[in-house]
Structure 1
Amino acid sequence: MTIERELSFTSAGHRLVGTLTLPAGAGPRPGALLLPGSGPLNRDGDHRRLPLGIQRDLAAALADAGVATLRYDRRGVGDSSGRFPRTGFHENVDDAQAALAALGADPAVDAGKLFLVGHSEGALTATAMAARGVALAGMVLLAGTGRPGAEVLRWQAARLLPDLPAPVRLLLRLTRTDLVAKVARNHEKILATTGDVAWVGGQRLNARWMREFLRYDPRPDLARVTAPILALTGDKDLQTDPVDLPVIAASAGGPVQTRVLPDVTHVLRRQPGAPSLRAYRREVTNPVDASVTGAVVSWIASLG
């Protein structure tokens, strides 16, 4: 019977709280730290407007395979202290490193068999942390990118344009607005800021995180990672380009396996037909697709 218990740890004076999921049977067991995508997400990977449940589903699948997991509330979210809107990308990496240390220190976990499993921004968090030289048995990058954040966001703007509501597309045409160019101009405004929070394009942004994300290029950090890597991206992903998979493979300092998952979206669910962000709310009523959990579980089992 799977056991779940609260586990708290400290990072930069903040108390972060998560759930340690332990498989049935005697330990110590291999352990995996589950890292979520962008935004104020709780330990399960849920946003108050969109309950993704990605880390919850991964924890359940890995527990069934005999792997312990830790997932935690980000700073200023759920039971964790801090202020999320003022937390930078590299501070998220610091928090993840503290979480990995807490996972490895638990007597039910084998500290010599630790894995990182990151989704979207979490894949970048895993990469940046692994490059610091932490001891890892392997790293899983789900919908991870292989180029600077500014390039990723410009690609997203171009990729998402056909999915915008028809009135918005019409307005862009009537005003002769180049969406990609507008996004690039907003990036310049963000990079010119110096505070933690700024107003850009009528929106209040975590400017510190945005500046660090826009400038972060994962390729030099990937070159420092010698642990095995599994990189998976769905062919219906509108936020991560599957062509980044060979970039990740070419950049990494160790062995890499990559796979494009048919009909899988950025939220790791199956979506037949044309990809659309508007389908996310319906998709997340289903669990993470078995092609994702199956690939992650079998790969970690082969190394653990």
Structure 2
Amino acid sequence: MFNLPFCKQRYSHGFLVILLLILWITDSNAQSPWQQKWQGKLEVAAGMQLTLILNLQEQDGKLSATLDSPDQGAMGIPASQVSTKDTELTVEFAAISARYVANLKEQQLQGTFYQAGQQFPLVLTPMSTAQQEAITASQQRPQEPLPPYPYIEQQVRYPHPSAGFNFAGTLTLPQGKGPFSAAILITGSGPQDRDETLANHKPFKLLADTLTRRGFAVLRSDDRGTGQSAGNFSGATIEDFATDVQAAYEYLLSREDINPSKIGLIGHSEGGVTGPLFAARQPKVAFVIMLAGLGVPGNQLWATQQRDIGLASGMQDGDMIYQLHLKAATLSAQGANFEQIKTLFAAVPNANEQMINTLATMLSSDWAHSLMAYQPQAVLIKLNMPLLALNGERDMQVASKDNLTGIKQIMANTANQDVTVLSLPELNHLFQQAPTGHPAEYAQISETLNPAALAHISDWLAARF
């Protein structure tokens, strides 16, 4: 019934937080029977398994532990408590509200993993050298650009227009004097760094590299309150994030090596909301590219996302999931508080209180109020600049068909004659080629951005600027 978060703290990469499990633990050497790297598969839904690595280490007679979930790119989650009694081991993970209880038997830890009111059988065995090498290989990201680069890279800082703090970012510039056409990269939901790093993938670093090699200057920055940027992320709304886009735009306007009439926006996921919000107020923006951006109202997006991921995770009643989450998101759009949203979910039979509290906390936040109330019709209709909208056909976070159809319908009623809308086969929310598009696959895929997606973006820009 409930789909609990799996992305970054405030729930994302992606775009609206997908509420699934994140599981984790770290490193060790083996001297006592416990001191090992223990590895196993956790079956979280039919046909869906996550590799877990429990790292137990003993020092001065005291055990400590960390947890790794390499399939989700979650590494080194510290245990809050580790205890043993005879052959029984109990490991608590307060940070993720999880617990593992197991018995040591025949060189195996045979036990149960508990999280958010659910329990899953989990057998762990000592990790072999071959298994460790396979995990290391799975974390490789062959597309990540490495120096030396055939362009200039500058570390920059620039001010927010009104909030009194500075952003930190990276500006890549082609060789030569300029002035250059420029793109501002805008991250998705949750506190993101300038590379939009997720599970060792750095999609914005790769996109900036691709575009700069094609002759474009590219600015990518740490979100407010994240990385080297100052400010406060907590409590910010989509309108606040749109002013962060304004800060980047005004910074590029101040540079002599940037052509002021050729500065555009590329927003991924929630960046496909905050970018258009700013562009709707600033008609001099040269172009807008929406990568998995919204073409449907925020509350509808949320309900569809929860239904699609729930069904893909083994849940059965898609219509019930959709209607429940649509009611919750609509309440959020109306400014509902924690108790109002909690009451809605608490009425569901056998509802888990911890999951309910997580959902109610998120959906009663200022950020959720603003996103669930978002109406793309009122924003996109004001965009008079060239517009490119791309979605992966297998995107489960921002459904391709619904959102691209919405964008097409909205833009058909405008005077804008330069609108391109494309659905890319076999690609997920991160524009990786994916088996199903489920968020659990993101870290398992070595591809950071599919070459076809990169080509569509860079070719579309090169044809116009």
Normalising by structure 2, report the TM-score.
0.59
Other-structure match for 1:228: 386
Asked whether the equivalents of residues 427 and 437 of structure 2 are also in contact (C-alpha less than 8 Å), the reply is no
Alignment pair present for 1:300 and 2:461: yes
Other-structure match for 1:28: 179
Asked whether the equivalents of residues 331 and 341 of structure 2 are also in contact (C-alpha less than 8 Å), the reply is no
Asked whether the equivalents of residues 42 and 72 of structure 1 are also in contact (C-alpha less than 8 Å), the reply is yes
Decide which structure has greater helix share: 1
Secondary structure of the residue aligned to 1:224 is coil
State the alpha-carbon separation in 2 of the partners of residues 230 and 185 from structure 1. 32
State the alpha-carbon separation in 2 of the partners of residues 220 and 188 from structure 1. 18
Amino acid at match of 1:178: M
Q: What residue ranges of structure 1 are gaps of 5+ in the alignment?
A: none
Other-structure match for 1:44: 195
Other-structure match for 1:190: 332
Asked whether the equivalents of residues 137 and 303 of structure 1 are also in contact (C-alpha less than 8 Å), the reply is no
Secondary structure of the residue aligned to 2:281 is coil
Q: 2:357 aligns with which of 190, 197, 202?
A: 202
Alignment pair present for 1:53 and 2:202: yes
Alignment pair present for 1:245 and 2:418: no
Asked whether the equivalents of residues 193 and 223 of structure 2 are also in contact (C-alpha less than 8 Å), the reply is yes
Other-structure match for 2:8: none
Secondary structure of the residue aligned to 2:463 is helix
| Most deviating of 103-112 and 246-255 | 246-255
Q: 2:211 aligns with which of 53, 57, 62?
A: 62
Shift of 1:287: 2.5
Q: What residue ranges of structure 2 are gaps of 5+ in the alignment?
A: 1-149, 343-355
Asked whether the equivalents of residues 154 and 183 of structure 1 are also in contact (C-alpha less than 8 Å), the reply is yes
Which is greater in Rg?
2
Asked whether the equivalents of residues 18 and 71 of structure 1 are also in contact (C-alpha less than 8 Å), the reply is yes
Alignment pair present for 1:274 and 2:436: yes
Structure 1 runs (4+) deviating above 3 angstroms are 188-196
**CA pair 199-281 structure 1, distance change in 2 beyond 3 A:** farther
Other-structure match for 2:370: 212
Other-structure match for 2:423: 260
Number of residue pairs the alignment of both structures matches:
292
State the alpha-carbon separation in 1 of the partners of residues 302 and 436 from structure 2. 21
Q: Summarize deviations over 1:181-228 as a string: whole Å, max 9, x none.
A: 3323433553465789x9962124371110000001111211111101
Give the superposed CA RMSD. 2.3
State the alpha-carbon separation in 1 of the partners of residues 266 and 240 from structure 2. 18
| Most deviating of 26-35 and 155-164 | 155-164
Aligned-pair identity (%):
27
Normalising by structure 1, report the TM-score.
0.89
Amino acid at match of 1:118: G
Asked whether the equivalents of residues 124 and 144 of structure 1 are also in contact (C-alpha less than 8 Å), the reply is yes
Asked whether the equivalents of residues 220 and 251 of structure 1 are also in contact (C-alpha less than 8 Å), the reply is no
Other-structure match for 1:88: 237
Asked whether the equivalents of residues 289 and 389 of structure 2 are also in contact (C-alpha less than 8 Å), the reply is yes
Higher relative contact order (CA 8 A, sep 6+): 1
Other-structure match for 2:322: 180
